[in-house]
C-alpha cells in the first residue's frame, strides 16, 4: 500500500533529521535514476532516496524505516542485472538506501594484503588506490567503474578472475553491517583465522540486501602482476573450449582469465566496436579469450601450452600477444559485450532478457544447444558468452516475446543438469520464482527463518530471493 501523505511526510522529516536535507532526495527528477535498473527491465517508485554518510547514519535510518513500515532497497552502483537494486512496483512505500556516500578507502596494509573500504567505493576506485603499493583487487568485471565493493559482496560477484582467485566471498576478511533494527554487527580486524560461531562475512556474502546493509568491508588484495600475455583462441566447439580451459589451467600457472565468447556474441561486439571478426571459427566453433599475468613473462608458458598436442587438437586458430594496445583490443571483445548487448536492446526497444547460469562443464554444450533452440522457438536472438572454467554462461536474449517460456525451458534444463540458475548475478526478483528448482522446501524454510530472525518486519529488499514461504 502507498503511504498516506502524512506518513510519507513524517518519514521524510525524520530521515532529514538523521542524515541532513541534501541527502534525502524526494523530487521526481532526483529519484528517477535510482528507480530503474541497468537493463531498463526492472524498477518502481520510491518514497525517497536516502544517502547516509556513515555506519551510524545507516543505523539511524533503518529503525526509522521499520517504525514507519517502509521497505528498504539498498543500492550500490545499480549495475545489478536481476532487479534487486531498485524498488518493486508492488511495494510503493519504499526507501532506496544508496551507499554512494559510503565511499571512503583506507590505507592498504601491504603486509596483511588488506584494505578497509566503504561499501560504496567502486571496484575501479579501490583498484586505482591500491595500485601504488603494487597491489590489486582479486575480483574484476566490466562494470568496475560503477559497481561497488558492497554490491559485489552482497551479490557474491564473480567476473573474469574467478578462475584464479574465486568469487567475492573469498576476499571478505571482515565486514561491518547494520541490521533492520539498527544493530551494528561484524568486525574489520581482518583476522585470517577465527572460529567463533556465526561468521558475518559468510552470512552476508550473496544475501542481496535481504539480511542487512553492508557499510564497510575489510577486503583481501592480491599482488599486481605486471607481465601479461593475452590470446584469443578459436576452438572447434564448447567441448573443445572446456578441454582447452582444463589443459591451460594445468600447464600455465599464471592463468588469470578464461572467457568464453560464442560466435553470435563475437559478431555483435565487433559490429558494436566497428571492427571485423578477429578470427574465423567453423560452424559450431567457439572463442576463448585467455589472459595470463605473472611476475615474469608468461608468454613462453602460454605459447608452448597452446602448441601442446593435448590442446592443439581442439584449436582452429589463435592470436597471441603481449603488446599492450593489441591486448586491450582483444580484451575489449569480452569487456564491452554487455555494453554492446545493451546498445542493441535499446535500439530495438525491447529490454534484454538475461539468464546467468552454470552447469557442470561436461553439460555446457548441451545446455547452450537447448538455449539456442529456446531462442529459435521464440523468434529471439541469443547472445551467449561467459566464464568457461566455471561452466558459467550468460544467455542474453534479444527481441524476446515470451521470456517466461524461455526461462522455464532453460532453467529447468539447468537444474536437470545439476547446475545453478544463478552463477554470479544473484537471484534478485528476476529469478525468485525459479528458486525451488535448486533449493528444497527444507532449505527455503531455513532461509526464511534466518531472514525472519534478522528482519522480522521483512522490510529489507522484499521479493528478492523470495519464492514465497514453502508449505510446512
Binding positions for ligand FAD, rule: CB under 6 A:
38, 73-81, 84-85, 99, 119, 141-143, 147-148, 150-152, 154-155, 157-159, 208-209, 213-214, 338-339, 424-425, 461, 464
SS3 313: coil
Smallest CA-to-CA distance from 427 within 210, 213, 208 is with: 208
- Grid cell, residue 368, equals 547452450
Residue closer to ligand FAD, measured from CB, 52 or 285:
52
Residue closer to ligand FAD, measured from CB, 264 or 366:
264
Angstrom distance (rounded) from CA 337 to CA 81? 14
CA dihedral in degrees (178, 182, 186, 189; nearest 10)? Answer: 90
Residue closer to ligand FAD, measured from CB, 118 or 237:
118
Q: Give least dist CB 457 to ligand FAD, A.
A: 17
Residue 277: what are its φ and ψ, rounded to 5°?
-60, 130
CB neighbours of residue 129 within 10 Å: 18
Q: Give least dist CB 122 to ligand FAD, A.
A: 8
Count of CA atoms in the C-beta half-sphere (13 A) of 317: 9
Longest dimension (CA), the chain: 74
Residue 47 gets which letter from DSSP?
S
Residue closer to ligand FAD, measured from CB, 211 or 305:
211
Residue closer to ligand FAD, measured from CB, 318 or 352:
352
Residue whose C-alpha cell is 561436461: 362
Residue whose C-alpha cell is 571478426: 277
Q: Give least dist CB 256 to ligand FAD, A.
A: 14
Q: Residues with Cβ < 8 Å from 199, sequence gap 6 or more?
A: none
Q: Give least dist CB 437 to ligand FAD, A.
A: 20
SS3 289: strand
Residues in the chain: 472
Q: Give least dist CB 64 to ligand FAD, A.
A: 17
Residue closer to ligand FAD, measured from CB, 260 or 314:
260
CA dihedral in degrees (345, 351, 356, 357; nearest 10)? Answer: -100
State which residue has the least CB distance to ligand FAD. 151
Q: Give least dist CB 397 to ligand FAD, A.
A: 16
Residue closer to ligand FAD, measured from CB, 43 or 237:
43
Residue closer to ligand FAD, measured from CB, 24 or 119:
119
Three-class secondary structure assignment of 135-169:
EECCCCCCCCCCCEHHHHHHCCCCCCCHHHHCCHH
Q: Give least dist CB 282 to ligand FAD, A.
A: 28
Q: Give least dist CB 420 to ligand FAD, A.
A: 13
Amino acid at each position: 500500500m502507498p503511504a498516506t501523505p502524512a506518513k510519507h511526510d513524517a518519514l521524510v522529516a525524520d530521515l532529514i533529521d538523521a542524515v541532513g536535507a541534501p541527502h534525502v532526495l524526494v523530487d521526481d527528477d532526483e529519484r528517477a535514476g535510482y528507480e530503474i535498473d541497468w537493463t531498463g527491465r526492472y524498477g518502481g517508485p520510491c518514497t525517497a532516496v536516502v544517502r547516509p554518510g556513515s555506519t551510524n547514519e545507516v543505523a539511524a535510518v533503518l529503525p526509522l524505516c521499520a517504525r514507519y513500515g517502509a521497505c528498504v532497497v539498498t543500492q550500490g552502483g545499480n549495475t545489478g542485472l536481476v532487479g534487486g537494486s531498485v524498488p518493486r512496483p508492488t511495494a510503493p512505500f519504499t526507501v532506496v538506501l544508496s551507499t554512494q556516500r559510503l565511499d571512503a578507502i583506507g590505507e592498504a596494509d601491504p603486509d596483511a594484503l588488506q584494505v578497509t573500504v566503504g561499501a560504496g567505493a567502486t571496484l575501479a576506485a579501490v583498484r586505482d588506490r591500491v595500485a601504488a603499493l603494487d597491489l590489486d583487487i582479486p575480483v574484476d568485471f566490466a562494470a568496475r567503474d560503477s559497481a561497488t565493493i558492497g554490491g559485489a559482496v552482497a551479490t557474491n560477484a564473480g567476473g573474469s578472475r574467478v578462475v584464479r582467485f574465486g568469487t567475492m566471498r573469498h576476499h571478505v576478511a571482515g565486514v561491518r553491517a547494520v541490521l533492520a533494527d539498527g544493530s551494528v554487527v561484524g568486525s574489520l580486524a581482518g583476522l585470517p583465522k577465527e572460529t567463533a560461531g556465526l561468521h558475518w562475512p559468510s552470512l552476508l556474502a550473496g544475501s542481496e540486501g535481504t539480511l542487512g546493509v553492508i557499510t564497510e568491508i575489510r577486503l583481501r588484495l592480491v599482488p599486481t602482476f605486471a607481465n601479461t600475455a593475452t590470446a584469443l583462441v578459436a576452438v572447434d566447439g564448447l567441448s573443445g573450449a572446456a578441454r582447452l580451459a582444463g589443459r591451460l589451467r594445468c600447464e600455465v600457472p599464471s592463468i588469470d582469465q578464461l572467457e568464453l565468447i560464442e560466435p553470435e556474441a563475437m559478431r555483435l561486439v565487433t559490429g558494436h566496436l566497428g571492427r571485423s571478426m578477429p578470427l574465423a571459427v567453423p560452424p559450431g566453433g567457439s572463442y576463448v579469450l585467455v589472459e595470463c599475468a605473472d611476475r615474469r613473462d608468461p608468454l613462453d608458458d602460454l605459447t608452448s601450452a597452446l602448441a601442446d598436442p593435448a590442446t592443439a587438437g581442439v584449436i582452429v586458430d589463435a592470436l597471441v600477444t603481449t603488446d599492450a594496445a593489441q591486448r586491450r583490443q582483444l580484451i575489449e571483445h569480452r569487456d564491452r559485450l554487455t555494453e554492446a548487448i545493451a546498445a542493441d536492446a535499446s535500439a530495438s526497444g525491447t529490454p534484454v532478457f538475461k539468464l546467468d547460469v552454470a552447469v557442470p562443464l561436461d553439460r555446457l554444450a548441451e545446455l547452450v544447444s537447448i538455449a539456442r533452440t529456446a531462442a529459435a522457438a521464440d523468434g529471439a536472438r541469443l547472445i551467449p558468452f561467459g566464464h568457461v572454467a566455471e561452466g558459467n554462461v550468460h544467455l542474453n536474449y534479444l527481441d524476446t516475446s515470451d521470456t517466461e517460456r524461455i526461462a522455464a525451458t532453460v532453467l529447468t534444463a539447468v537444474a536437470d543438469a545439476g547446475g545453478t540458475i544463478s552463477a554470479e548475478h544473484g537471484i534478485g526478483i528476476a529469478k525468485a520464482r525459479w528458486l525451488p528448482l535448486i533449493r528444497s522446501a527444507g532449505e527455503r524454510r531455513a532461509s526464511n527463518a534466518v531472514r525472519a530472525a534478522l528482519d522480522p518486519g521483512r522490510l529489507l529488499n522484499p521479493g528478492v530471493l523470495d519464492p514465497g514461504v514453502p508449505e510446512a
